Amino acid sequence: MEETKPKESGRRESAVEERAEKCLERRNMAFEAIFKLLEKIGTTMDVRKIVQLFLMTLMGQLGLKRAACCLVHTKRRQLSGFYALGVADKESIPAFDMGGAFVRWLESLDAPEHIDRFFARAAGHTEREDGAVAALVDRGFAYAHPLKDREGMVGAVFYSARITGKGFDEFEDELLKMLAGVATITIKNAWLYQMTLISKLELEKFAEVKKEFINHTSHELRTPLTVLKSALWSIEPGEVDDNIMVGMAKDAVTSLQKVVEYLLSLNEIELNRTDLRMTPTEVSGVVDDCLREMLPELEEKAVRVSVDNRAGCEAAMIDPSKVKIVLMNVLENALESVNEGGSIRIEILVSQEEPDGEEGVEIGDWRLSFDERCGGGPFIDTAGGLPRPGQEDETPRFERTRDTRYLVVRIRDDGIGIPADEIESIAEPFRRATNSMVKNVKGLGIGLSVSQKIVAGHGGKMFCRSAEGEGARFSIWIPMIEPVYDDGP
């Protein structure tokens, strides 16, 4: 008996030592994995690759079935799926509103937490949000951990139980926190690199645009000034009946006024603002005003214009003066594109449906975006800006609710059309289609730049559908805000 006790004690000590050695070996392997991850992601500024390496390391170290990373999308004000492993499609991961209870719950976490505890601990969640969280759990995700630092949350990682079915110990929770910290830092570093790169590209683009701007503006100001000077110097004192010279002077002044108005509109684009004075307006009346002003040019080219007003007398909350600029720009472009005897068709309607692919290519902001030059990134908005995580985005959003209706104006011509590969860039200042018949046309070439900004200021979008030789159709979609009339006391 006395000999047995020392043997049992020795076996227990041996087992303890063996477990300690395995634990130490496990930790060494984990730290080695972290160092390898740092080494790999330290050589890239590609957010997608960073997230992919992070998830691969996480799944390998914890023995997970699946894992997904969601990042904050400030433009949509959502936490949305960015990359996933072990699932068929990242799009199957539901998106969560940044102001919702689930995101607030994630922001409050300092350690990995079981997702089921959200239902018990979080307050203020809605039925829709509960359904989205339940869908996340149904897809096999059981745990959550935020990707955050002192400045706020940039995303979150969701992951499944282990393949073996065993739970996670304290060290594995700490390991996940270390990996998440590494991912957070490197994602933000990549974002800062992108911001620096875009600033450089924007400066290069600005220099190019400034050069074109000076050339075009000098020409456009010189011509009416020459006419004005000639007309005024030709009028002798007392010859007040010289109607031809006076008319030429008036036309030149009007031309100068249009140039100045365009310059002011371009200034609004540069300042990223468009001051709107919204008022209940029948858009058909704005269209009629445009056609009246263009009547001499339309008659000169014998262009037929038809208007199909299916919106009737319904009023929309718009800035009529700014919308008139948009319509004039599109109509003038249509007039330039058609041959003598051509036709322009205008369609006005109110739609309950969203714009679809039939509308054509969306005309985006002309300024540089990361998507155009560098392949895109999770923090990049459509205007090329780089909002910080949590930063409010003041740009009007174009989104559908059950009650949303849209004011739609389509302008179609039977002119020469626009090459398909040039439609997306047609809103750049001074840009004209390469097949344009009007190389020497008057104008600064900034009409669509101004128009796109005005429509975006209304929360809307512009589209173009065209093929070379088959004419073009521009569509303007603006979400309708119901007019509020003052009935008086």
pLDDT score of 87: 79
pLDDT score of 143: 94
Are 97 and 103 within 8 A, CB to CB? yes
Q: Cα 382 to chain center, whole Å?
A: 3
First-to-last alpha carbon distance for the chain, in angstroms, is 105
pLDDT score of 441: 43
Domains and CATH numbers, the chain: 4-194 (3.30.450.40), 274-479 (3.30.565.10)
Closest CA to 400 of 351, 457, 359: 351
pLDDT score of 194: 78
CA 55/CA 64 separation, integer angstroms: 10
CA 14/CA 25 separation, integer angstroms: 16
Q: Which long-range contacts (CB under 8 A, 24 or more apart) does 38-41 make?
A: 38/182, 41/182, 41/186
Alpha helices in 235-273 (DSSP H): 243-270
Q: What does the block give as tokens for 43?
A: 């050589």
Each residue's pLDDT expressed in tens, for the chain with a length of 489 residues: 555 555 566 556 665 566 656 666 666 666 676 667 767 776 778 888 888 888 888 888 888 989 999 998 877 788 988 889 987 665 678 889 888 899 999 999 999 999 989 988 767 778 888 888 998 998 889 999 999 988 889 999 999 998 888 888 888 888 888 888 888 888 888 878 877 777 777 667 766 666 666 666 666 666 676 766 666 666 655 555 566 666 666 666 766 766 666 666 555 544 444 567 888 999 999 999 999 988 888 998 999 999 999 998 888 889 998 899 899 989 988 998 899 999 999 999 999 888 888 888 888 764 444 344 343 444 433 333 333 333 444 444 444 444 578 999 999 999 888 887 777 767 665 555 554 544 444 444 567 877 888 888 888 899 999 887 889 999 999 988 754 444 444
What SS3 state is found at 189? helix
pLDDT score of 379: 41
Bridge-based pairing of strands 78-85 and 96-97 is antiparallel
CA 230/CA 81 separation, integer angstroms: 65
Q: Count the residues in the chain.
A: 489
CA 338/CA 25 separation, integer angstroms: 77
**Partners of 158 in the β-ladder:** 68, 144
Residues 6+ apart with CB under 8 A from 435: 416, 417, 418, 419, 468
CA 299/CA 340 separation, integer angstroms: 10
pLDDT score of 16: 56
CB-based burial of residue 449 (10 Å sphere; 0-12 exposed, 13-18 middle, 19+ buried)? buried
